[in-house]
Amino acid sequence: MQIDAVRTFAAIADASSFQDAADDLEISQQAVSKRVAGLERDLGVRLFARTARGAQLTADGLAFLPHARALLRAAERAEAAVRPGGRALRIDVVGRKLAPAELVRGFHAAYPDARIDVATPPDAAAAVAAVAAGTLDAALRAVTAPARLPDGVASARVHDEPVQLLVGASHPLATAPAARPADLAAHRVWLPGIVPGTEWAAYYDDLAAAFGFTIETAGADFGAEPLLETVARDPALATLIGEGTQLFPPPGLDLRRVPLRDPTPVYPHSLVWREDNPHPTLAALRAYLTPRTPSPVPSWTPAWTH
């Protein structure tokens, strides 16, 4: 059933005239007649009777009219839902307690009327593919050089997040004002749950190799709370977190964030989007996130980072 034909039927019913409906719709009377004939053929009934007083609805036309109006209202809602700015901006934030989510929350605080839906694809490859396919409007991820992005997809580095050491109160570095990445060679660094092939696995592999320390990944990953509890109670164990990561440790745990300096490892967050995406909230988000947050000096990122 063609929406234009249904719209034409409703216009004739309102005007009681094919010609007046044609004038309202700014089309020819011949086009109006053709649309109605096609609709009547699809439905298998006559919708109008032509009389001296104009076009009168038949009994079938009267029965169809409220449903036609409901169809037109549904079509208007469907069009509004996908009209630029008519739906929420859908963006990947990696994890809801991580720095990208904080960036998006900051944007929403600055633009409280912006409607946003957040998603968390498993890795950068899945996020970029979703942006390319149009199922996501944007993603905040660590990405490689732009040449590796699909055609029509762009990226801009918008936030360099310092990486910190997280230790319990009894750890030898707990009271240190800062530590060097090279100092970690003398300590156990534990990051369970790293998924091989993801961008964060590549980042931490390169970080450890660059500064000569080992990251232990063995052990079950039961989530953030068991990890924090283990680190807090083991004086020989440390883990790595982003500066913007929100921590909600169980009560009674004493955890210390130790900045890394000389150089400061930074995790590079880039905004990824389709260049032909017209969503106005995306344009506002891009403007809000750039220019990017400057990196500490000196800083370190992997060679593959864009």
The tens digit of pLDDT for each residue in 40-60 reads: 999 999 999 988 778 999 999
Same domain as 254, residue 113? no
E strands, the chain, in order: 48-51, 54-57, 89-92, 116-119, 138-141, 153-168, 188-190, 215-216, 237-242, 255-259, 264-274, 299-300
Strands 264-274, 138-141: pairing kind = antiparallel
Rounded to whole angstroms, how far apart are CA atoms 96 and 93? 7
Rounded to whole angstroms, how far apart are CA atoms 129 and 288? 24
Q: Which of 66, 82, 98 is the last residue of a domain?
A: 82
Same domain as 113, residue 67? no
Check residue 84 and give its pLDDT: 66
Work out the angle at residue 172's Cα, subtended by the Cα atoms of residues 169 and 173, and round it to the nearest 5 degrees: 80
Rounded to whole angstroms, how far apart are CA atoms 87 and 135? 13
Same domain as 28, residue 59? yes
Same domain as 221, residue 185? yes
Same domain as 55, residue 131? no
Rounded to whole angstroms, how far apart are CA atoms 139 and 100? 9
> 304: which 2 tokens?
């593959």
* Total residue count of the chain as it appears in this document: 306
Same domain as 126, residue 93? yes
Rounded to whole angstroms, how far apart are CA atoms 151 and 220? 39
Please report whether residue 127 resides in a domain. yes
CATH of the domain at 52: 1.10.10.10
Check residue 218 and give its pLDDT: 83
Same domain as 277, residue 244? no
Same domain as 279, residue 133? yes
Q: How many domains does the chain have?
A: 3
Rounded to whole angstroms, how far apart are CA atoms 75 and 9? 15
Check residue 51 and give its pLDDT: 82
Same domain as 168, residue 78? no
Check residue 208 and give its pLDDT: 96
Check residue 40 and give its pLDDT: 95
Check residue 305 and give its pLDDT: 81
**Domain residues for 61?**
3-82
Please report whether residue 306 resides in a domain. no
Please report whether residue 304 resides in a domain. no
CA-to-CA dists, residue 229 to 76, 197, 219, angstroms: 53, 27, 14
Check residue 64 and give its pLDDT: 95
Rounded to whole angstroms, how far apart are CA atoms 17 and 82? 33
Same domain as 257, residue 168? yes
Q: Which of 35, 62, 82 is the last residue of a domain?
A: 82
The structure tokens 């490859």 sit at: 125
The structure tokens 């694809």 sit at: 121
Please report whether residue 305 resides in a domain. no
> 106: which 2 tokens?
């900051």
Check residue 147 and give its pLDDT: 62
CATH of the domain at 111: 3.40.190.10
Please report whether residue 122 resides in a domain. yes
Same domain as 212, residue 66? no
Q: Which of 62, 82, 102 is the last residue of a domain?
A: 82
> 116: which 2 tokens?
């946003």
Weakly modelled stretches of the chain, pLDDT under 50 = none
Same domain as 174, residue 156? no
